[in-house]
Amino acid sequence: MARSLLALAKTLCFILHVQSCTCGEAEIIGGKKVKAHSLPHMALLYNSEEEPRCGGTLLSSTWVLTAAHCFKYKIDTVRLGVVTIKNSKTDGFVQARKVARQYQHPCYNADTNIHDLWLLKLSQAVEETTAIKYLPLANTISDPKEGTICMVAGWGLVKVDIKEMSDDLMSADVTVIKRETCNLTKYNNTGYTITSDMVCAGTVEENQVVRDTCQGDSGGPLMCNGEQVGITSFGIGCANRTKPGVYAFLSKQHIDWINGKIKNESYSEECATQ
Ligand SMILES: *[C@@H]1O[C@H](CO)[C@@H](O)[C@H](O)[C@H]1NC(C)=O
Ligand SMILES: *[C@@H]1O[C@H](CO)[C@@H](O)[C@H](O)[C@H]1NC(C)=O
Ligand SMILES: *[C@@H]1O[C@H](CO)[C@@H](O)[C@H](O)[C@H]1NC(C)=O
Ligand SMILES: *[C@@H]1O[C@H](CO)[C@@H](O)[C@H](O)[C@H]1NC(C)=O
């Protein structure tokens, strides 16, 4: 499986721009405030200046899954159980951990944003509480069908023109868009290609407020029917109907790498030359 996907990836010859050019971090646009502690697996990732930069998911007591491109922010601390950024350092529900070790997916490519996965091993175990829960991945996750309503969440920007993280955790419903559609020229003016390791989701109804992830939401989960199916990865700008959000899909290959790493940190995977 891994091999055939890699072979496919190789032949696609991506000339993608992504993340780097526009929507560096994602924000939830058109969403609503999340009830305190109702997404107890949400992680908030901070850089060395103590600034929040990305989201993530707590998979187990010591592992957090996020996006590989968040690496550029020099993430060094993870906070769990956060409700508002303002109170994240004083809130008694919050557990903060240093990042002890980190692993980018060996096949991650910053130019194409393929395999945008990053695993953080925490310095010390996080305890489960009413505010904090682990969300282990399933062994296989089926490809979400076109039209599936999924949820995204994060502390990213809530307005495209206000470059500031949201104090509150926000969430929004987005609809899965077929890869072939998302890959069409109409959706691809900035030149990226959607692969089988990515999922597109956005706002499909003409008469509804546009919902999307944006800067600061990167690394957070795409949840479909209560299960994590993807990781917020990139987009061309934010909240443009013809530029839906793109998520790293937790394909069999990705799950095998994550679960392999969690079992044995020396586990690796061979990549096709990029
Ligand atoms: C996306 O478009 C590229 C370039 O036309 C093509 O090689 C690739 O197979 C397409 N992918 C999907 C999932 O449609
Ligand atoms: C997307 O844009 C890239 C770069 O311009 C191009 O190579 C690719 O063929 C386009 N994909 C589709 C499906 O048009
Ligand atoms: C959406 O993207 C298209 C293509 O890049 C652009 O022409 C259009 O102005 C954008 N719309 C909004 C609302 O930003
Ligand atoms: C962990 O993986 C490495 C590399 O594949 C292997 O050499 C080692 O034997 C494994 N350790 C355990 C305990 O499975």
Confidence tier at 114 by pLDDT (50, 70, 90): very high
DSSP 88: T
Helix (H, G, I), strand (E, B) or coil at 254: helix
Structure tokens at 5: 């996907």
Is the distance from CB of 21 to CB of 85 less than 8 angstroms?
A: no
List, in sequence order, every residue forming a beta bridge with 75; answer none if it has no partner: 47
**Is 218 labeled as catalytic in the residue annotation?**
yes
Those residues with Cβ within 8 angstroms of residue 139's Cβ, 6 or more apart along the chain or in another chain: 255, 259
The continuous run of DSSP H or E covering 9 comes out as helix 2-12
pLDDT higher for 165 or 191?
A: 165
Which of 41, 69, 105, 115 is the catalytic position? Answer: 69
Confidence tier at 190 by pLDDT (50, 70, 90): low
Confidence tier at 269 by pLDDT (50, 70, 90): confident
Ligand 1 center from residue 70 Cα (angstroms): 26
Nearest alpha carbon, ligand 1 atom 4: 193
Q: What is the dihedral of CA 12, 17, 19, 24, to 10 degrees?
A: 180
Is the distance from CB of 69 to CB of 234 less than 8 angstroms?
A: yes
**Is 17 labeled as catalytic in the residue annotation?**
no
- Give the pLDDT of residue 189: 54
- Give the pLDDT of residue 26: 41
Return the number of other C-beta atoms located less than 10 Å from residue 18's C-beta: 25
pLDDT higher for 232 or 31?
A: 232
- Give the pLDDT of residue 191: 67
- Give the pLDDT of residue 2: 31
Smallest-distance ligand from the CA of 111: 2
Answer yes or no: is pLDDT of 19 > 50. Answer: no
pTM of the model: 0.86
- Give the pLDDT of residue 22: 36
**Is 167 labeled as catalytic in the residue annotation?**
no
Percent share of the chain, pLDDT over 90 = 70
- Going by C-alpha positions, the residue among 192, 209, 170 that lies closest to residue 34 is 170
Which of 41, 105, 115, 116 is the catalytic position? Answer: 116
Is the distance from CB of 172 to CB of 151 less than 8 angstroms?
A: yes
Answer yes or no: is pLDDT of 86 > 90. Answer: yes
Ligand 1 atom nearest residue 183's Cα? 1
Amino acid at 224: C
Nearest alpha carbon, ligand 3 atom 12: 240
Is the distance from CB of 43 to CB of 232 less than 8 angstroms?
A: no
- Going by C-alpha positions, the residue among 267, 213, 227, 270 that lies closest to residue 59 is 227
What's phi and psi for 178, nearest 5 deg?
A: -55, 140
Confidence tier at 274 by pLDDT (50, 70, 90): very low
Question: Is the CB of 270 within 6 Å of ligand 4?
Answer: no
- Give the pLDDT of residue 209: 87
Mean pLDDT of 109-118: 94
Confidence tier at 154 by pLDDT (50, 70, 90): very high
Mean pLDDT of 181-185: 83
pLDDT digits (tens, 9 = 90+) for 237-253: 888 888 899 999 999 99
Which of 88, 171, 218, 251 is the catalytic position? Answer: 218
Ligand 4 atom nearest residue 268's Cα? 5
Is the distance from CB of 41 to CB of 117 less than 8 angstroms?
A: no
Is the distance from CB of 245 to CB of 235 less than 8 angstroms?
A: yes
Amino acid at 242: T
Taking the C-alpha atoms of residue 37 and residue 100, their distance in angstroms, rounded to an integer, is 25
pLDDT higher for 183 or 99?
A: 99
Ligand 3 center from residue 206 Cα (angstroms): 15
Give the chain's mean pLDDT: 87
DSSP 188: -
Is the distance from CB of 37 to CB of 216 less than 8 angstroms?
A: no
Task: Render 27-64 in DSSP notation, one character per residue.
Answer: --BS-EEPPTTSSTTEEEEEETTS-EEEEEEE-SSSEE
- Give the pLDDT of residue 204: 87
Nearest alpha carbon, ligand 2 atom 6: 191
pLDDT digits (tens, 9 = 90+) for 21-72: 333 334 478 888 999 999 999 999 999 999 999 999 999 999 999 999 999 9
Mean pLDDT of 124-131: 98
Nearest alpha carbon, ligand 3 atom 13: 240
Is the distance from CB of 231 to CB of 248 less than 8 angstroms?
A: yes
